[in-house]
Structure 1
Amino acid sequence: MSKAIVFTGFGAADVLHAADVPVAEPGPGQVRIAVRTAGVNALDHKIRAGYLEQVFPVTFPHVPGLEAAGVVDAVGEGVGGLVVGDPVFGTTVTGAYAQQALADAARMTLKPDTFDWEQAAALPVAAETSYRAFELLGVQPGETLLVHAAAGAVGGVAVQIAVARGLTVIGTASEANHEHLRSLGAIPVAYGDGLVERVRALAPQGVDAALDGAGRGGAIADSVELTGGKDRVVSIADAVGAGEHGVRFTSGGPEEYRGGPALEEALGLLAAGRLRLPVHRVFPLDEAAAAHRESESGHVTGKIVLTV
């Protein structure tokens, strides 16, 4: 048995609690990792609250968490390129809020020595989501991209990758995070009523595409108005709103996963000093409920990480 954070029913952050869970053996093509750090994503608390039950059904008890960094401690049949003792990071098959987690070997990447454990847990979901959304949006150098929730864990990485690709980025965030967005290369704008007019004042030439990472406050409707249509608006945060407005929602299912090229691009930018991974706060695994409450506050700059 090993320790994990679980919930046995949907609800507020307090449903999260520590429990002993069986140690799973890796199947063909899988590795098991001894988790050092796990990333906390907005998706985690939305799944925990039951908001996404139709999109992400779970069985109880459920261990949350989508991404982790750690050391390979067991290797399944047919795995090549990874051996016991390798430091790795990526997305997991079983919940990452645990001392041990299973992962498809193909979705694990060797952790560079220059890359600390907190950064390693902060990168996989943000990089893959940004890359996937940009493919769907068809963004090109010289275009203007609007990013909602641009100061968050995914938004901050998306801003930097877009800037590195030669796009002009306008990012929505609270006033307190505007200087942070400027440091990432974005033009900040306050969200809320009057957003369309504020964005048009910043981009008289228009907005070519929009990425909704906020899932609230009319972001999708405003994006459709600003881009002049539905084709170049993508939401990663509001499946219901996307359906209502006829725009694409992307959840990163198996058929959509773009982790390989995404991490290749992100690691190249990190090595070149063109990508930073701000860590908002680090919590011990036992304080996962507090980490969720912090994530749900909506005032997070960068990534929340759990240490195991």
Structure 2
Amino acid sequence: MKGMRAAFYDSYGDVDVLQTGELPDPRVGPGEALVEVRAVSINPVDWKVMAGGLDALMEVRFPVVPGWDVAGVVRAVGPDTPEVAVGDHVLAYGRKDWVQAGTFAELVSVPVRAIARKPRELSWQQAAALPLAGQTAARTIRDRLGVGEGDVVLVHNAAGGVGRIGVQLARVLGASTVIGTASERHHDRLRELGVAPVAYGDGLADRVREIAPDGVDAVADFVGGVYDVTRALLTEGGRHASIAEHDVPGIEDEIVWVRPDGGQLQWLVDLVAAGRVEIDITREFEGLEQAGDALRANQEGHGGGKVVLHISED
């Protein structure tokens, strides 16, 4: 049986359980495309799943190939798949309904409902870095919070991979003021993105009120553990959405779990191609053999931008 090279693991554990070897080529079902992988990006969920973090939520079938972000070239299509053709350059948030056949591989099958087209303005690395982080930001800022003209928006963890895109989307959607919490080493970059940065720690609510004395209309929580600050700052009738926690006392909130959505992803791609949203890539790694190093770099979490693994050439 023909095989592909992939990074995979046979049991839960830390990054050391990851190995590189040959696995069978993916099957390509109806409404799916087979993508030859050019680049993937690393997300915290990748190593959290590897440690068993989603075992109670999603079915897991070993061996598991990690990774949900992908950019690459369509090499085959399944039955009834008119949306894409062989040779198309695409990107996707390729999460399936179970954990097994991820993107850290030479080939991956992806439902076309998750696919967007990659324009030449985006590099493979930029394309790979966008799907999960970008769609999490879009689902939070646009779909859940409904940020619009004149809103004052507070983004917790504004310098993270999701937060950096989220603050830019808030500006694109018309927010009058975007305030972002971050370590001071990231403040200059946030200012470049049109954000008013504030440092974490004691007195955070007071620092935000210096910028927004009447409070904030919407809060995007990309870190968790900050509900006291959120409650102190949110205006009456304000909106709150979090990727980390919900059922916060005294706050009507939305919990965000991103889903594959090719239309939403294409909206993001078009914004990046037009120069209205920028993607920050902190570190790049080459080849499947460096998948473990890329995961460790993401675990360290000090760079702020995305970590990308380049898998194959054009």
TM-score (norm 1): 0.90
**Equivalent residue number for residue 249 of structure 1:** 255
Q: Deviations over 1:230-270 (max 9, x none)?
A: 9722112x2xx3246573221124xxx5441x334323322
> Given residue 289 of structure 1, which amino acid in structure 2 is its aligned partner?
G
Say whether the 8 Å CA contact 2:112–2:262 is kept in structure 1. Answer: no
Say whether the 8 Å CA contact 2:227–2:248 is kept in structure 1. Answer: no
Say whether the 8 Å CA contact 1:137–1:232 is kept in structure 2. Answer: yes
Tell me, in whole angstroms, the C-alpha distance in 1 between the residues paired with 2:301 and 2:182: 10
Say whether the 8 Å CA contact 2:113–2:261 is kept in structure 1. Answer: no
Pairs within 5 Å for 1:229-248: 232-236=239-243, 238=244, 241-243=245-247, 245=249, 247-248=253-254
Task: Say how many residue pairs are matched.
Answer: 299
**Equivalent residue number for residue 27 of structure 2:** 25
Is 1:185 aligned to residue 191 of structure 2?
A: no
**Equivalent residue number for residue 71 of structure 2:** 69
Which residue of the other structure, out of 72, 84, 102, is the alignment partner of 1:95?
Answer: 102
> Given residue 282 of structure 2, which amino acid in structure 1 is its aligned partner?
H
**Equivalent residue number for residue 149 of structure 2:** 141
**Equivalent residue number for residue 222 of structure 1:** 229
Say whether the 8 Å CA contact 1:129–1:154 is kept in structure 2. Answer: yes
Which residue of the other structure, out of 148, 161, 166, is the alignment partner of 2:174?
Answer: 166
Say whether the 8 Å CA contact 2:147–2:174 is kept in structure 1. Answer: no
Say whether the 8 Å CA contact 1:124–1:259 is kept in structure 2. Answer: no
CA 1:300–1:66: 2 relative to 1, 3 Å: same
CA 1:193–1:15: 2 relative to 1, 3 Å: farther
Say whether the 8 Å CA contact 1:282–1:304 is kept in structure 2. Answer: yes
**Equivalent residue number for residue 163 of structure 2:** 155
More strand by share: 2
Tell me, in whole angstroms, the C-alpha distance in 1 between the residues paired with 2:231 and 2:50: 30
| SS of 1:211 mapped into structure 2 | strand
More helix by share: 1
How far 1:224 sits from its partner (Å)? 2.8
Say whether the 8 Å CA contact 1:31–1:103 is kept in structure 2. Answer: yes
Identity of aligned residues (%): 40
**Equivalent residue number for residue 298 of structure 1:** 301
Tell me, in whole angstroms, the C-alpha distance in 1 between the residues paired with 2:276 and 2:283: 22
CA 1:171–1:120: 2 relative to 1, 3 Å: same
Pairs within 5 Å for 1:271-290: 271-284=273-286, 285-290=288-293
TM-score (norm 2): 0.88
CA 1:53–1:223: 2 relative to 1, 3 Å: farther
> Given residue 105 of structure 2, which amino acid in structure 1 is its aligned partner?
A
Say whether the 8 Å CA contact 1:220–1:235 is kept in structure 2. Answer: no
| SS of 1:61 mapped into structure 2 | strand
How far 1:277 sits from its partner (Å)? 1.0
Tell me, in whole angstroms, the C-alpha distance in 1 between the residues paired with 2:50 and 2:227: 24
**Structure 1 spans left out of the alignment, 5+ residues:** none
**Structure 2 spans left out of the alignment, 5+ residues:** none
| SS of 1:274 mapped into structure 2 | coil
Q: Deviations over 1:184-239 (max 9, x none)?
A: 11111112332222212221121111111123xx2233223321579722112x2x
Tell me, in whole angstroms, the C-alpha distance in 2 between the residues paired with 1:248 and 1:125: 18
| SS of 2:186 mapped into structure 1 | helix
CA 1:205–1:193: 2 relative to 1, 3 Å: same
Say whether the 8 Å CA contact 2:216–2:238 is kept in structure 1. Answer: no
CA RMSD of aligned residues (A): 2.0
Please identify, of 282-291 and 33-42, the stretch whose mean Cα deviation from structure 2 is larger: 282-291
CA 1:303–1:82: 2 relative to 1, 3 Å: same
Tell me, in whole angstroms, the C-alpha distance in 1 between the residues paired with 2:198 and 2:67: 31
CA 1:196–1:57: 2 relative to 1, 3 Å: farther
**Equivalent residue number for residue 85 of structure 1:** 87
**Equivalent residue number for residue 10 of structure 1:** 12
Is 1:121 aligned to residue 124 of structure 2?
A: no
